[in-house]
Structure 1
Amino acid sequence: MSLWIPFTVMAAFMQSWRNAFQKRLSADVDTLGVTLARFMLAAPMAAFYAWLLFEHDKITIPTLNYRFYLIIVLAAITQIFATALMVKLFRLRNFAMGVGLAKSEAVIAAVLGALLFAAPLSTTAWCGVLVGGMAVWLMSVPKGVRHISWLTLSLGLASGLCFALTTLWVREASLMTKLPFLHSAAYVLFWVLLVQTIIMLVWLLLRSPKTLLALWARPKLVFIISLCSFVGSVGWFTAMSLETVALVKTLGQVEIFFTLLISAKWFKEKLQRSDKLGLALILLGALLVILA
């Protein structure tokens, strides 16, 4: 089995729980506060993880040019927007639908990767991406476009676009380090989380200090969100240092399976009949991607 596959499944599982805890936090904290909860404690976790890897293998930290750090900043900012947009989706629609619309990132990443990032796919891989995209659409909009507001649809596609750009830039930054895959993923993850935390903390300190107080009052939930985010990000970043973004994100759509379980069991949200067909298509898309 290719190593990127278990890392992707781990990332999808942890991300589904992170999203669930974020939805829970969003009942009491505003959108930017919920977004910060994802990064705030994950940054020191990433620093410790990277330090352990580099110390254990006695690898020297690379010296990189301004382009690497520019890509890091772009990835950090687009992921902040992606997360904030998804949190807004949670407020508009149910949990499963919000996550489903945001998972449009796999198809968007495939198109942008082929056009702008020199990451073409084989015919089998394209089939897997498109089947996965059909599954996400079927599960997100089971009654058709007429039954979903343009605001909800726009937020979902915008979130997917921002997530796609984030992952494409993360992979590009990882390849620039020329480090072993575990170390490149850890190094890029640390920098992305550090930039995100600084941006969010400064913004909230200046514009909404009460949001920081709201997070301070919920330390356990913030810790759980950051921990799930950190472990999930280790999975995503490592998988993307090994394989193209479109394939990783298409397989990563198994997150919707975990999301549906959480949605039904924890949030008591009703699932649609189309969910079963959607899950079957996700499994088919994942299989095609693995075979590719």
Structure 2
Amino acid sequence: MSLWIPVTLAAVLFQTARFMLQKHLATSGLSAGGATFARFLWAAPLVWAAWGVSGIGLPPLPPLFWLWAVLGGVTQILATVLVVLLFQSRNFAVGVTLKKTEVLLTAMIGFVLLGEGVSLPALIAILGGLAGVLVLTNLPEGRGLLGRVATRAAGLGLASGVFFALSGVAYRAASLMVPAAPGARALVTLLVVVSAQLILMSAWLRLREPGQISRVIGAWRGTLWVGVTSVAGSFCWFTAFTLQNAALVYAVGQFEVVLSLLASVLFFRESVSGREYWGIGLVTASVLALIALS
């Protein structure tokens, strides 16, 4: 098994834990922006500490690296805010699955921006996962396909998928420009990204949502763990991006829907319909096919 697969699965485990924490925070007095900021408030110091302990110096970085890193950071912020809003529209398992439109979108964006394509069997597996996403999309009574696309949950899921796809491709492009081993590449890129995200989110909340920063700090017992799981997950994602096409990394990352289903039922006591089980089954089959092809 290629190294990027277990690294991606580890990233999925940490990310699911973080989304569970953020879902709880979003329903405990914090806004979507505040729940998102909690990730960066504690993640940045943890990454700085890890970088200091590692002894890795900051290598010479080309100007294009900074452009890709900042683009990835901004689009990830937007995507995360949309996902937190999405949790307020559908249950936890379906909310996470709807954002998985990022997989096919990443393949398209990666091909356009980086010239990285995927094989035909891998594309078929990705399309199978997309079919699962469509099955999971809520279809109100009396609406056709246009009504499905027009639902708020579907719109938030698609928008978050676009921004996550852009961030994944941008992170891969940035990390490949760091002249170092894969682990060092991931750490340096993560250092730059979380620093920029902390600065941008702090400025935004002070201007648009006064009081949210103090609420996040006041809820440190919960928000601190968001930062810890964020750092662990992000390091694994960034390492995987240095080793493999972002579209394939995200595709295997769809295993998150299985973990989110367990979280939905066991922790949030939410019900999952038979139709949703079918959709999750299709997505899971897509992930297993991609692992078999690797």
Residue 211 of structure 1 pairs with residue 212 of structure 2: yes
Could you tell me which amino acid in structure 2 is paired with residue 83 of structure 1?
T
Could you tell me which amino acid in structure 1 is paired with residue 186 of structure 2?
A
Cα distance change of structure 1 residues 61 and 94 upon mapping to structure 2, 3 Å threshold: same
Could you tell me which amino acid in structure 1 is paired with residue 23 of structure 2?
K
Instruction: Name 1:20's counterpart in structure 2.
Output: 20
Instruction: Name 1:91's counterpart in structure 2.
Output: 88
Q: CA deviation at 1:175?
A: 0.5
Instruction: Name 1:156's counterpart in structure 2.
Output: 157
Q: CA deviation at 1:142?
A: 7.0
Deviations 1:13-45 (A, max 9, x none): 111111111111001101111110111111111
Distance 2:148 2:158 in 1: 16
Instruction: Name 1:171's counterpart in structure 2.
Output: 172
Structure-to-structure mapping, 1:1-292, within 5 angstroms: 1-27=1-27, 28-53=29-54, 55=55, 60-141=57-138, 145=145, 146=147, 150-290=151-291, 291-292=293-294
Q: Helix, strand or coil: the match of 1:124?
A: helix
Distance 2:280 2:160 in 1: 22
Distance 1:201 1:239 in 2: 28
Q: CA deviation at 1:213?
A: 1.8
Deviations 1:152-194 (A, max 9, x none): 2211101000000000000000101131111101111111111
Q: Which moved more, 1:60-69 or 1:142-151?
A: 142-151
| Count of aligned pairs | 288
Q: Helix, strand or coil: the match of 1:104?
A: helix
Ranges in structure 2 where 5+ consecutive residues have no aligned partner: none
Deviations 1:55-84 (A, max 9, x none): 2xxx54211122111111111111110011
Q: Helix, strand or coil: the match of 1:176?
A: coil
Distance 2:8 2:207 in 1: 37
| TM-score normalized by the length of structure 2 | 0.92
Distance 2:281 2:94 in 1: 17
Q: Helix, strand or coil: the match of 1:212?
A: helix
Cα distance change of structure 1 residues 9 and 35 upon mapping to structure 2, 3 Å threshold: same
Contact 2:37 2:198 in 1 (8 A): yes
Q: Which moved more, 1:123-132 or 1:189-198?
A: 123-132
Q: Helix, strand or coil: the match of 2:270?
A: coil
Contact 2:258 2:284 in 1 (8 A): no
Q: CA deviation at 1:235?
A: 1.2
Q: CA deviation at 1:148?
A: 7.4
Deviations 1:242-266 (A, max 9, x none): 0001111010000010001101111
Q: Helix, strand or coil: the match of 2:177?
A: helix
Contact 1:50 1:183 in 2 (8 A): no
Distance 2:148 2:173 in 1: 38
Q: CA deviation at 1:206?
A: 3.1
Q: Which moved more, 1:182-191 or 1:281-290?
A: 281-290
Q: Which moved more, 1:167-176 or 1:198-207?
A: 198-207
Contact 1:127 1:288 in 2 (8 A): no
Could you tell me which amino acid in structure 2 is paired with residue 101 of structure 1?
L
Distance 1:121 1:133 in 2: 15
Could you tell me which amino acid in structure 2 is paired with residue 99 of structure 1?
V
